[in-house]
Amino acid sequence: MDEVIQVTQWLSSITPRKKAKLFFFTTHADAPTPMVGSNDVDNHEETQLPLATTVALHNFKNIDEFLKKKVNTFYCNNVIENEITKTDYEYLRFYSACKYLDVVPPFLDLEKKSAIQNKFEMTDEERDYRLLLDSADLVLEKVCDSLKPAGVSQMWTALRKDRNLIRGVKTIEIIGFSVDPNPTGIKECLFFFIVRHLQMIKKINRVNTNRLERLIAQCDESSACEEGRTIEFIIDSLRFYPTELYPFGFCLIMCVNEGRDGAMQEIEKTMEISRHLGMITHTEKNPIKETIERVKEELMKPKYQFYSSFTCWFMSHGDSNSVVLADGETIEREWFLTSFPDISTFQLKPKVFFMVSCRGANKFRLEGDEFECQSATCDYYDIGSALIRNRMLDITDSVRDISYVQPMMDTLVAYSTIPDHLSGRANTHGSIYVDRACVLMSENISRGRSLTEILEHLSQDLHEILQETMDEDRIVYKQACHYDSFFRKTLKLPYTRYPKEDVHSAPQ
């Protein structure tokens, strides 16, 4: 059959709502800069034009033309060995979006897809189409689905009233001030236009969504939200790190086995919980400094930009400032922790480090038959009230910036013990901290718990356990863990438990 006829038939089988979503996913705003070329306003406006004209004219002709052009580009594209191009990224994004929406063109060359994945050096696990979808876009899709046409129209009105958001943008005028978003698919086109516009003028990104939240907050709840949804629910959904679908992220396990009883148990436990959480996992036993440098270089490869989070378990002996590697050499703990957050492939994504080692020789020694514990609480004040807000600074958009980010932002470091203290272990089962952390994470899958909630529970659980030193003194002591967080959003555990067989047999 003629290619033009095939493409026409394929487009005619897609609903307007799915066309809008396919366009949105295909024009992913955070595509890798080195391959995409210029990110100037004119290029973004050109990308926005099909959405603008569709909303203005209630006609999907320009979106159809855009999708036809994409398909034709992919059809004519020759996969160049060893060189990753802009078209390679777009091909994978397009395929994953089609697969997600169940609109894969029957004429799409899947051998080309496999050849591109080979260039990215993707493993069998990484060829799951869900890895190629952008989690932030999936969250925004759900926000759109939670709003009625009237709600998106109210967002548009609020945006048009803010001159700082529309100044110098031609496509804004194409749509006009008054919009009828009720025809099928127009609501989606208008919402996605708003989102991409805010990204284009650098008011929002995958972490900073405050400006979008403020537009939603101006909507009238009674007319803006779909049944079962509220403004609060919709805004709350934007306050979590986007880690939708499988995989939950990439997990690196580094464990020094030499001189550490139960180290293999630690590896098995952390591997099992990471797979249950839906992570793709890599293990390095007995790492040395060269291992760490090699892994850092590996994580700079383009394929890792598709992951939505990064987790690292580092298990070894240590002291107040250093950790001991397999060859007996030591590295500064701070050097290790600051090396990974600056990796570009995981910028604006949550990075979690579990540092399991002693940080000194001190022990919280227990003496006597009775022990008393005290807990301190603090008062929480609602700063959301109008009375208090009126006393606060008026922080305008002109003094806000989301372009420059400190490298440690979006990073959480969980320590198995507090500074200068021991980190206990069992002879056969390894680190007690690792054991309890894996148990609590496993128990809280599907409960909607955040990682920090679980770490707080872990702190309570671990501090209840009486431990004993293995030396002659046989000192009974308690261990206290803690974490340092630079998170800007909440990281929730996935709702789905991923058995091992599901991870390996994920649909391609």
Each residue of 340-378: pLDDT tens digit? 877 888 999 999 999 999 998 887 666 654 433 432 223
Give the DSSP letter string of 126-147.
Answer: GG-GGGGS-HHHHHHHHHHHHB
pLDDT at 305 over 70: yes
CB 164 within 8 Å of CB 397: yes
Q: What is the pLDDT of residue 42?
A: 55
- Mention every residue, 6+ apart, whose C-beta is less than 8 A from residue 400: none
What Cα–Cα distance (Å) separates residue 484 from each residue in 122, 193, 262, 377, 426? 33, 37, 27, 19, 26
- Report the alpha-carbon distance of residue 172 to residue 404 in Å, rounded: 27
- Mention every residue, 6+ apart, whose C-beta is less than 8 A from residue 274: 251, 253, 281, 311
Average pLDDT over every residue of 221-240: 94
Poorest-pLDDT segment among 347-351, 395-399, 448-452: 395-399
CB 359 within 8 Å of CB 419: yes
Most confident region among 41-45, 54-58, 428-432 by mean pLDDT: 54-58
What Cα–Cα distance (Å) separates residue 385 from each residue in 234, 238, 432, 453, 496? 20, 21, 44, 26, 37
- Report the alpha-carbon distance of residue 256 to residue 292 in Å, rounded: 12
Longest CA–CA span in the chain (Å) reads 87
Domain ranges for the chain: 3-26+48-239, 249-364+406-486
In a 13 Å sphere around the CA of 265, the CA atoms on its Cβ side amount to: 15
Q: What is the percent of the chain where pLDDT is above 70?
A: 87
Average pLDDT over every residue of 253-262: 92
Between 375 and 205, name the one with better pLDDT: 205
Most confident region among 246-250, 330-334, 341-345, 372-376 by mean pLDDT: 330-334
Average pLDDT over every residue of 12-23: 96
pLDDT at 36 over 50: no
Q: What is the pLDDT of residue 377?
A: 26
Q: What is the pLDDT of residue 184?
A: 95
Place of tokens 């995409």: 36
Cα 467 versus chain centre, distance: 37
Q: What is the percent of the chain where pLDDT is above 90?
A: 58
- Report the alpha-carbon distance of residue 259 to residue 133 in Å, rounded: 43
Torsion of CA 107, 112, 116, 121, to 10 degrees: 110
Average pLDDT over every residue of 144-154: 97
Q: What is the pLDDT of residue 493?
A: 84
pLDDT at 7 over 60: yes
Q: What is the pLDDT of residue 427?
A: 77
pTM score of the predicted model:
0.84
- Report the alpha-carbon distance of residue 181 to residue 195 in Å, rounded: 16
Determine the CATH number of domain 249-364+406-486.
Answer: 3.40.50.1460
- Report the alpha-carbon distance of residue 434 to residue 357 in Å, rounded: 10
Average pLDDT over every residue of 401-412: 87
pLDDT at 241 over 70: yes
Confidence of residue 495 (pLDDT cuts 50, 70, 90): low
Confidence of residue 76 (pLDDT cuts 50, 70, 90): confident
- Residue 250: closest CA among 206, 226, 220, 280: 280
Poorest-pLDDT segment among 19-28, 328-337, 395-404, 407-416: 395-404
CB 360 within 8 Å of CB 419: yes
Poorest-pLDDT segment among 77-91, 316-330, 428-442: 77-91
- Report the alpha-carbon distance of residue 135 to residue 128 in Å, rounded: 14
Place of tokens 């372009």: 403
Average pLDDT over every residue of 389-410: 74
Look over the chain and give the mean of its residue pLDDT values, rounded to a whole number.
Answer: 85
- Report the alpha-carbon distance of residue 169 to residue 14 in Å, rounded: 30
Confidence of residue 309 (pLDDT cuts 50, 70, 90): very high
